[in-house]
Structure 1
Amino acid sequence: MGDFFTTGQALDPETAQFAENQRGAGSTTGIAQDRSVVNQPQLTHFSAETVIINTYGQGPDRTDNTNSSSPQNKANIKRCQAELKSYIQNSTKKLYQGTKDYGSFTPLKEIYTELYITKGGSREVNNEHEVIQLECRRNLFEEKKIQLNDILNAFSNEDDPPKRVLTTGIAGIGKSVAVQKFLLDWASGEANQTTQFIFPFKFRDLNLIKDERWSLMTLIVNYFEEVKDFSDSDYCNSSVLFIFDGLDESKLPLDFENNEMCRSVTKTTTVDVLLTNLISGKLLHKASIWITGRPAAAAKIPPECIDRVTEVRGFNDEQKQQYFQRNVCNNDTAQKILDHLMSKPLRSLYMMCHIPVFCWITATALENLLDKTDKDELPKTVTEMYTHFLVIQTKLNNQKDYQEVETDKDVIMKLGKLAFEQLQKSNIIFYKKDLESCKIQAAVYSGVCTQIIRKEYGVLYKQEVYSFIHLSVQEFLAALYVLETFLNCGENLLSSQTRVKVASETGEVFLLLLLHMQAVNTALASDGLWDLFLRFLLGLSQDSNQKLLQKVFGFKERHPQSNKATINFIHEKIRRLSNTDKTINLFQCLNELGDQSLLEQVQKYLRSGDVGKILPAHWSALAFLLLISNEDVDVFDLKKYNRSEEVLERLLPVLKASRVALLSDCNLTDRCCKMLVWSLTLAFSCSFALNELDLSFNCLKDKGVNLLYPWLGNPKCRLVILSLNHSRMTAVGCGSLTIALSGSSAIKELSLSFNSLMDEGAIRISDLLRNPQCRLKILSLNDSRMTAVGCGSLTIALSGSSALKELSLSFNYLMDEGAIRISDLLRNPQCRLKILSGSSALKELDLSNNRLMDEGAILLSDWLRKTQCKLKIL
């Protein structure tokens, strides 16, 4: 989807005439020996009084260049801009869904559904499949939304717009379509008109010329001949944006550390050197850069080269509804599709509709099935949906140009072989030689191929570049190929001993179990690459999907079989698995196999209140159930389930997806801190946002608090409230905690009461409060064994510019000296404290010259009535 700049577009007559009238103003062009286009300026009436040659450093900004402000040059720039806008508008106005050869295309502005884009996406590699991450993400759309056309603009709290922006998002989430819409709005004059020129490139296109040498000027002109009359100074003096789409598809090394420096737009070098210098700001340092890619590829760009990271989150619930209403033939059918997706208890299909491409696959399959299929027979699992999608895509293509002996089944198996081989190499793009290695002739590329594989042409040399319409389609076909190869030939492509003999029906069942076991183990050992493949492989083993494949494509018929042995094997894996995140995909696999026994058991125990019978596998089932259902998991309270570390470990995926984690008084030790840090650090790469954590009344000790340090000290940690009351912490753990919070911590409320912090701990906290980056507003230090010494340190810290507004010091040994220190603090005009809960031993309090008002007087009266109050002088 979103293919732009694959073929040249003719200029409209008006623009062409304007270009012809303006051509030649101010300069002529020639071709250098290195094929580069160069300006040959015509200098007239030139008088050089002073010439300054700067040969060191970056040099001055060239905004005062006389030539750039001349009427002739302004006209030339205006003409080039008009031609470029016309070209981009023509190239982006249509959105292709499916493939360009046989897919449907619609005016982008009519069909475009707004995407949910947020600030601060992931730059870290995650060991889960992207789809699994999406299914486990519950607090998706509560962060501040960014409008697409504001992605390169300054926010309200920023003085300057970012120069270099990285936008991440999983495969099929809509990054390329977002780029296409951004370009169309600019070219149509609807947005970002302060940007004079936008030059969009695709990494998959740049791969084709990675071994050639170019200057930046010649590279741009070869892609966009509309600016062939540009001089090098025009690039420097114009507002320019470069867009590089599809970082995850890049075959360039992007060697930022070792590449040579390139400062000139006319210097000839490799494409890799040009890109690293552009992105790092050495080449055309005034230009803006926008890069898009999947999260795993973000690490290719050094963090210091990026000013802003954003994330395309896909569709929220409202946008899903808009999509189906705009893309389905009528609103009644669209509503039926939505009703079907939302009616399923696990709602896994509906959750996958966060991905726009999956919405299209779903709409394609269900729109064709609703009028022909009984409601109970509509697809209920992801595998069933993709199987019907494959059938419908094949039927849509009436003209078959296969070789005489070739059937749909033959072509699908060839596509599956291609999909499997490329998946093994982690390739999502491939070339003519890859097709031919699977006996798919590019010259007769047609039939079902055109429905499943997208073909594009390199801009410069028209070389074919291929990809499946979505990564999940590639994974589905790969799984189909592996399964059918086993069923037809007895060959296990996942095993080193690939050839096996199927002697009987019983033997076939046993060997199919071996294939399933091999696939499960492969997925568990990988970093998520094989997770969805596994789900498809098991789902395709179901008799219902096998019968459909036999009926439509003529796949080999087999006896109805039970997958009970495979189900039992997965149950055992779930029971033994320590990596709780991996269990989520295994439960999805059970769903594909039609098994909900673990889920039903845990629901039965929860309804009866007999949680004592819940086994470890059941707790994992509960985690899956909470994540995939419509249950609210915003607040995770472990006490609702079972107060133990073993249960917490099984429910960590739920905690990761929550805003508030209540773990107080749950028999936790320092071991839980290690688990939490591991899990919550992984959550950084999924943009999860735990805001509140309560670990009070647990035996964490200093060791446990020290283990929290890496997570609390990470600038991506967005925790606001932290409670560690009665956690058996001393000044040692307190010191580690204050160091972690002394950076860019977001924590505003900290509770450390009922710990033996002593004066040393109070002094450590005082150092934190003096830190100008400290955001603490509420601090509780009740019963911390603090004396007047520690109290004095705190009052000195609060006499400065501390933001603290509420302080609790009850049940400490402050005595009269401490009370006097507090009184002095309250007299200080810089003190921002609004609420003070002090020691019960306080005997004298001076609140003179304060604006207490009636409300303050009432609060004082209430306090004076308390029996614990020992105040004698007020």
Structure 2
Amino acid sequence: MKQSIAEAVQTTIKSHLRKKFQCLFEGTAEHGPVRLLNEIYTDLYITEGEEGEVNKEHEVRQIETASRRTQAEDEAIKCNEIFRPLPGQDKPIRTVLTKGVAGIGKTVSVQKFVLDWAEGKANQDVHFIFPLPFRELNLIKEEHLSLVQLLQHLFTELKDMPLFNPEEHKVVFIFDGLDECRLLLDFHNSKPVFKVDDPASVDVLLTNLIKGNLLPFALLWITTRPAAADKIPPKCVGLVTEVRGFSDPQKEEYFRKRISDENLARRAVSYLKSSRSLYIMCHIPVLCWILATVLETMLTETYTGEIPRSLTQMYTHFLIIQTSMKKVKYTEQKERDEGIIFKLGKLAFQQLEKDNLIFYEEDLRECGINITEASVYSGVCTQIFREEAGLYQGKVFSFVHLSIQEFLAALYVFLCFSKREKNMPDQQQTSQLSALFRAATLHDLHKTVVDLALQSANGHLDLFLRFLLGLSLESTQNLLNSLLKKTGSILLNTEETVEYIKKNIEDGSEFNRVLNLFHCLNELNDTSMVEDMQRCLVSGALPWPNNTIPSSSQCASLLYLLLTAEEGKYEFYPNQIMKTDECVKNMLPVIKASRHAR
């Protein structure tokens, strides 16, 4: 009898999960294009991750660092074998913690794992899989439920079915998005819960599941951005893995699957390879999708405009493309786009200050977005702003990716500046970023952001800075004028800013900060420092005497050039550089980036 109940429950769950996970929604579930996951899914590079110190660096830094690694360094782990012990591990793994930056493919990996089980393709020794995203668990944090009631609450299909005992079966719980968790996970003081029918708050149930008090033989898979990995005590984790995104061959495979026109896909890959700073960003699957969306339009035979070469230009085109994909009923209101983008920018900026990737009704109301209008916002700005109804049917909101949030936040600041809407009453004057609204000139604004970015030890403003600088170019403003009312009468002169950035490069001592400043110069269309290094490499000499040690700025200049140049274009002589331990440390990425080092 017990077996038949378990089989009925399993059949119901598998059917539900097949319907829920068979499609991959790129952008928003309601408005984005629907693609079958199995048609577009591209394997990700997953390896064993490092335990111990949590990486709090901005994720763009982590992307760029990861892109410089070689895959031979680590053994790849297949998504469907996430619980398999690695060579040398002799005891079974109960809890896997998977780290990865936003948009790297953690949630899609979970989706593939669940779908393959539901379709009978993998892990058929598992009786039940319950995916429980933190963004949905957040919505029921006030409830007191037993574990069985919680599952019935989230999986409504189980409500009218006979109760089953999870203790008698092999069960996998997947907690996706630990970084989005707004529950208080107190592993030291939460009351113990041992039985699946004992009621408790959701956070207490989770801590007891993770500690192993509840269902000690159940398997747990937890995914998180790296900065939140320390929310789970190391003793509760059997294996740490890391999703490193797409390798170069996987990038090309993705574009072939994503762009149906084979010739167009080939041209897109070729174009990105010629713009190495963009190609590096393709390490992130979500960014591949953004770039594919833009290039699919830009590279057609009928397009006569300039192809974007900087990150800001790409995101500006993406905003224009997505905003134009709106429902017919909104088209007659010409001014509506600007109002919506301004409110979304304000939301992006405020949540960036709080380091939030997801938000709720109250967050929207603070920015003048009525909850009943949310579908209008996600309809007009298709695939930029995501509105989701969870299993519990509560509303959760987010931008499709952190970089889109940072772009809109930078656009909001620039619009406020150009319209002179400074010292706004709802802006917290205690905020570090409130100084931006007191800038008198464009150079003051740039200087303030550059200084704040350089003061950030973890690079949390690096990408925001790049976008704000790129938005200040007249060419970008001309693009935006098709979408927004003409910005105020500001003189778009960036020469002072360029000189200020160069001075900071020369004075800089921290390698990653200097490297980001070169990316900033690229956004401002200034390549003079890189061209100087180029001339040196072509002549076979480096710009420092043989007896001296290159500064971090010189190392960063060389690295930036090698990373952004076509493969194998330059060669250099390590014995001219590797004179101290610090030099060796700075130059290791350069050696890895160079195909021809003598």
Aligned partner of residue 174 in structure 2, secondary structure: strand
Select which of 314, 317, 320 maps to 2:251. Answer: 320
Tell me, yes or no, if the aligned pair for 1:638 and 1:648 is still in contact at 8 Å: no
Which secondary structure does the structure 1 equivalent of 2:296 belong to? helix
**1 CA distance for matches of 2:584 and 2:507?**
15
2:176 corresponding residue in structure 1: 245
Task: Mark the CA change 1:183 to 1:365 in structure 2 (over 3 Å): closer, same or farther.
Answer: same
Q: Match for 1:330 among 258, 261, 264?
A: 261
Deviation at 1:577, TM superposition (A): 1.8
What letter is aligned with 1:624? Y
The secondary structure found in structure 2 opposite 1:359 is helix
**1:518 matched to 2:448:** yes
Partner of 1:487: 418
Counterpart check, 1:426 vs 2:355: yes
- Give the letter aligned to residue 130 of structure 1: E
State the identity %.
Answer: 46
Unaligned runs of 5+ in 1: 1-71, 502-510, 663-874
Deviation per CA, 1:683-711, whole angstroms, max 9, x where unpaired?
xxxxxxxxxxxxxxxxxxxxxxxxxxxxx
Q: Tell me whether 1:224 sits opposite 2:155 in the alignment.
A: yes
Deviations 1:252-280 (A, max 9, x none): 12111221211111111111111111111
Aligned ranges 1:682-701 → 2 under 5 Å = none
When the two chains are superposed, the root-mean-square deviation of aligned CA atoms in Å is 2.8
1:183-214 CA-to-partner distances (Å, cap 9, x unmatched) read: 11000100000000111101011111112211
Other structure's SS at 2:396 match: strand
1:801 corresponds to: none
Please tell me whether residue 370 in structure 1 is matched to residue 299 in structure 2.
yes
Q: Which amino acid aligns with 1:452?
A: I
Structure-to-structure mapping, 1:40-59, within 5 angstroms? none
Q: Which moved more, 1:650-659 or 1:147-156?
A: 650-659
Q: 1:151 aligns with which of 79, 82, 86?
A: 82
- 2:316 counterpart of 1:387: yes
1:770 match = none
Q: Secondary structure at the match of 1:489?
A: coil
Query: 1:69-121: CA deviations, max 9, x gaps?
Result: xxx11111111111111111111111101111210111111121111111225
Distance 1:127 1:147, change over 3 A: closer
For residue 221 of structure 2, give the secondary structure of its aligned residue in structure 1. Answer: strand
> Does 2:113 align with 1:195?
no
Alignment of 1:345-360 (within 5 A): 347-360=276-289
Taking the TM superposition and a 5 Å limit, the aligned residue runs for 1:221-620 are 221-227=152-158, 229=161, 234-344=165-275, 347-371=276-300, 377-401=306-330, 406-445=335-374, 446=376, 447-460=379-392, 462-489=393-420, 491=422, 494-496=433-435, 498-499=437-438, 511-526=441-456, 527-556=458-487, 558=489, 561-611=492-542, 613=544, 616=551, 617-620=553-556
Aligned partner of 2:430 in structure 1 is none
Say if 1:458 and 1:490 are closer, same or farther in 2 by CA, change over 3 A. Answer: closer
Contact 2:325/2:382 (<8 A) preserved: no
CA distance 1:566–1:653, shift in 2 (3 Å): farther
Of structures 1 and 2, the larger Rg is shown by 1
Q: Which residue of the partner structure matches residue 139 of structure 1?
A: 69
1:135 alignment partner, SS class = helix
1:601 is aligned with what amino acid?
D
1:450 Cα offset (Å): 4.1
In the TM superposition, what is the alpha-carbon distance from 1:225 to its structure 2 partner?
4.3
Asked if structure 1 preserves the Cα contact closer than 8 Å seen for 2:435 and 2:448, the reply is no
- Answer 1 or 2: which has greater helix percent: 2
2: CA distance between counterparts of 1:331 and 1:256?
52
Deviations 1:498-543 (A, max 9, x none): 4466xxxxxxxxx111100111111122222211100100011111
Give the letter for the 1:168 counterpart.
Answer: K
1:170 aligns with 2:106: no
The answer for unaligned runs of 5 or more in structure 2 is: 428-432
Cα deviation, residue 449, structure 1: 3.6
Counterpart residue number, 1:721: none
Q: Which residue of 2 aligns with 1:215?
A: 146
User: Shift in Å at residue 637 of structure 1?
Assistant: 7.4
CA shift in 2, pair 1:326/1:486, >3 Å: same
Letter in 1 for 2:390: G
CA distance in 2 between counterparts of 1:264 and 1:448 reads 48
Deviations 1:289-342 (A, max 9, x none): 000111111111111111111111111111111111111131111011111101
Determine if contact 2:419/2:488 at 8 Å carries over to the other structure.
no
Distance, in Å, in 2 between the alignment partners of 1:650 and 1:149 is: 37
C-alpha distance in structure 2 between counterparts of 1:353 and 1:340, whole Å: 12
Measure the CA separation in 2 of the matches of 1:383 and 1:78. 53
**Are 2:327 and 2:380, in contact at CA under 8 Å, matched by a contact in 1?**
no
Cα deviation, residue 158, structure 1: 4.0
Cα distance change on mapping 1:513 and 1:559 into 2, 3 Å: closer
Taking structure 1 as reference, are residues 106 and 164 closer, same or farther at Cα in structure 2, changes over 3 Å only? same
Q: 1:114 aligned to 2:43?
A: yes
SS in 1 for 2:71: coil
Distance in 2 (CA, whole Å) between partners of 1:225 and 1:377 is 51
Counterpart residue number, 1:672: none
Aligned length: 576
Separation (CA, whole Å) in 2 of partners of 1:470 and 1:612: 40
CA distance in 2, matches of 1:121, 1:99: 33
Deviation at 1:437, TM superposition (A): 1.8
Equivalent of 1:98 in 27, 35, 39: 27
Shift of 1:642: 5.7
What letter matches 1:133 in structure 2?
Q
- Measured after TM superposition, the shift of residue 559 of structure 1 is 6.4
- For 1:36, the equivalent position in structure 2 comes to none
Per-residue deviation, residues 142-186 of structure 1 (Å, max 9, x unmatched):
221111111112345444431110111110011111111111100
Describe the SS at the equivalent of 1:587.
helix
Matches within 5 A, 1:666-677: none
Distance 2:483 2:335 in 1: 15
Q: Secondary structure at 1:537's aligned position in 2?
A: helix
User: What is the one-letter code of the residue matched to 1:282?
Assistant: N
- Displacement after TM superposition at 1:613 (Å): 3.9
Contact 1:577/1:583, CA 8 A, preserved across alignment: yes
Q: Secondary structure at the match of 1:451?
A: coil
Q: Structure 1 residues 365, 123: closer, same or farther in 2, change over 3 A?
A: farther
Q: C-alpha separation between the residues in 2 aligned to 1:450 and 1:201?
A: 26
Q: Provide the rounded CA distance (Å) in 1 between the counterparts of 2:505 and 2:221.
A: 42
Using the TM superposition, name which of 650-659 and 477-486 deviates more.
650-659
**Contact kept? 2:558, 2:590, Cα under 8 Å:** no
